[in-house]
Amino acid sequence: RLGYGAGYYDMTLARLREQGPVTAVGLCYEEQLVRKVPAGKHDQPVDWIVTEQRAVRIDR
């Protein structure tokens, strides 16, 4: 997810993950998939990416 740089999505997801397991799913079109995305130290990863063609489990 590309936001506006305030980190609200990442802060919310981090707080939820402190309380227990959370599965984060990202949605995009197949043509938007890339092999690697630059990430900062506060960025929260997704566990799955779902496109109109498939679901991809992200192994970390």
Res 26: pLDDT: 93
pLDDT in tens, the chain (60 residues): 566 678 888 999 999 999 999 999 999 999 999 998 888 899 999 999 999 999 999 987
pLDDT value of position 37:
87
Exposure string of 25-41, with b = 16+ CB inside 10 Å and e = fewer, is: ebeeeeeeeeeeeeeee
